[in-house]
Chain A
């Protein structure tokens, strides 16, 4: 049997005030799929970090849009956050994509924490960056069957 693909696409201003709307939409889609409260909380953080990146880095001079796509593929939820901004220097340096573990307070920096959280909270995360054409973040979380839960 071929898995049925269902899709919800929303397009919103890439400003900080709209990120909570994305979280509310995520809640709707993910709870309908049967994700647990905790799983939804995890995904809320991940999707917000992707949106924050679009809000902060995509559109320097003008106001732009971010497009969020929720796709259910089988028992997985795939979320894509896309903008058409400048996309340079987003997510900081690759080397900073880590947490604050093994760091002293005076050397701890916040840069890259958003990306680190996305990776930690989702099963798969990929970022496509193309100069002048924006950024596309795709992340997936699989629905745990209740019998698989410990």
Chain B
């Protein structure tokens, strides 16, 4: 199996032209959920810039992680601020579709 699979979860942000993009890497599960929530909170509350999550290198997400995305969606929606997910891996998109959170991302995209 891929021995890099257990790489530590990281969330790295980058601001460019009024958009903050956060690149997620590794496995977003219960063990890193508190850290992720903490990193995302100030970014989610900043309505001066659009927020984008790039999931290209996200290997895994559980319901805890999806729960955090849902609360970011609610926060951004409440402030009428932009929020998108980009480059969602197939397996993770499947979970988004299955749980029903996918339609909220689509709705965000359409309102841009």
Residues in A lying within 8 Å of B, measured CB to CB: 16-17, 19-20, 23-24, 27, 31, 38, 41, 44-45, 48-49, 52, 55-56, 99-103, 105-106, 108, 110, 113-114, 116-117, 120-121
Pick 11 A–B contacts, CB within 8 A, sort by A. A48-B29, A48-B30, A52-B30, A52-B64, A99-B99, A99-B100, A100-B99, A108-B104, A110-B71, A117-B63, A117-B95
Q: Is the CB of A44 within 8 A of B100?
A: no
Mask, B91-102, CB within 8 Å of A = 1, is: 100010011110
Nearest-CB residue, chain B, relative to A51: B30
Q: Which residues of A contact B29 (CB under 8 A)?
A: 16, 19-20, 48, 52
- The answer to whether the Cβ of B62 comes within 8 Å of any Cβ in the partner chain is yes
The count of residues in chain B whose C-beta lies closer than 8 Å to any C-beta of chain A is 27
Q: How far is the CA of A131 from the CA of B83 in the complex (A)?
A: 43
For the complex formed, measure the closest distance between the CB of B38 and the CB atoms of chain A, giving whole angstroms: 15
In contact, A27 and B1 (Cβ under 8 angstroms): yes
Complex Cα distance A121/B62, Å?
A: 13
- Name the distance in Å between B2's Cβ and chain A's nearest Cβ: 10
Provide the residues of chain B in CB contact with A106, threshold 8 Å.
74, 77
